[in-house]
């Protein structure tokens, strides 16, 4: 499927991350960014997502994320039976990192969520994301959210949605870096993360231009 927006639009991407305990790290939300721009974990009560060729399949991580306040969705997609499609739960999704899309001085990656269940479900808003080392310790601060407008994405079995993750190239920004072992991805409005092996090199964790940014989920694989 065609990407709903290109990564070149993520021009404000700036790098990531400081060490934090994993319990309560990952954040995901069904609505917009907070006043600080930092990603927060949404309530695991109401939410709604599809995506290029993925490079890794995710498996549930052993440590859950911490939920925060969320806003119920007013756009409730319906199934062929006429019933509202339920939110996609972590156990029904596979996470992967799609094909990177280099930009001018930045690195852009699609975080792809694929529906592995035999039912249609929905995703909406921002996923949670955190780079971690081999011991599970978070590297750098939580990503910031790009000012996007969330929409509900309906995923039939086997379909995918993606959210953009981007940061300034450390060799250009001069930010301090670390080499993650994995990226933990929490689907919107869920508590439990999916663990995806990170093979794309060092990421910024401190210093100038060290922020990492996330976009809302949208249909497709981002490729």
C-beta atoms surrounding 126 within 10 Å = 29
76 is a domain residue? no
**Whole-number CA gyration radius for the chain:** 16
8 is a domain residue? yes
Per-residue confidence (pLDDT) for residue 34, from 0 to 100: 46
5 is a domain residue? yes
49 is a domain residue? yes
The residue segments making up the domain with residue 115 are 1-71+85-223
pLDDT tens-digit profile, the chain (223 residues): 444 444 444 333 333 333 333 434 444 655 544 444 444 433 333 333 333 444 454 545 544 443 333 333 344 565 555 567 899 999 999 999 999 887 778 899 999 999 999 999 999 999 999 999 999 999 999 999 999 999 999 999 999 999 999 999 888 888 899 999 999 999 999 999 999 999 999 999 987 677 899 999 999 998 7
Per-residue confidence (pLDDT) for residue 80, from 0 to 100: 58
Number of continuous H segments (helices) and E segments (strands) in the chain: 1, 14
Angle (CA) 115-116-120 rounded to 5° is: 50
55 is a domain residue? yes
Q: How many domains does the chain have?
A: 1
What does pTM read for this prediction?
Answer: 0.68
Per-residue confidence (pLDDT) for residue 206, from 0 to 100: 87
166, 101 Cβ separation under 8 angstroms:
no
18 is a domain residue? yes
80 is a domain residue? no
Per-residue confidence (pLDDT) for residue 128, from 0 to 100: 96
Residues 175, 178: Cα–Cα separation, whole Å: 10
101, 59 Cβ separation under 8 angstroms:
no
C-beta atoms surrounding 181 within 10 Å = 17
79 is a domain residue? no
């Amino acid at each position: 499927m065609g990407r709903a927006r290109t990564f070149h639009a993520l021009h404000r991407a700036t790098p990531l991350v400081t060490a934090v305990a994993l319990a309560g790290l990952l954040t995901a939300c069904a609505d917009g960014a907070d006043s600080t721009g930092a990603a927060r974990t949404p309530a695991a009560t109401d939410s709604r997502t599809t995506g290029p060729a993925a490079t890794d399949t995710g498996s549930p991580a052993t440590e859950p994320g911490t939920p925060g306040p969320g806003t119920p969705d007013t756009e409730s997609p319906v199934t062929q039976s006429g019933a509202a499609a339920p939110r996609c739960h972590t156990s029904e999704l596979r996470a992967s990192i799609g094909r990177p899309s280099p930009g001018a001085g930045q690195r852009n990656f699609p975080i792809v969520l694929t529906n592995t269940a035999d039912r249609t479900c929905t995703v909406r808003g921002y996923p949670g994301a955190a780079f971690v080392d081999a011991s599970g310790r978070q590297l750098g601060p939580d990503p910031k959210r790009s000012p996007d407008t969330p929409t509900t994405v309906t995923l039939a079995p086997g379909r995918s949605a993606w959210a953009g993750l981007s940061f300034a190239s450390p060799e250009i920004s001069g930010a301090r870096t670390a080499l993650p072992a994995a990226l933990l991805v929490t689907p919107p409005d869920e508590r439990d993360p999916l663990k995806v092996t990170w093979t794309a090199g060092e990421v910024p964790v401190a210093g100038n231009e060290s922020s990492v940014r996330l976009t809302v989920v949208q249909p497709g694989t981002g490729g």
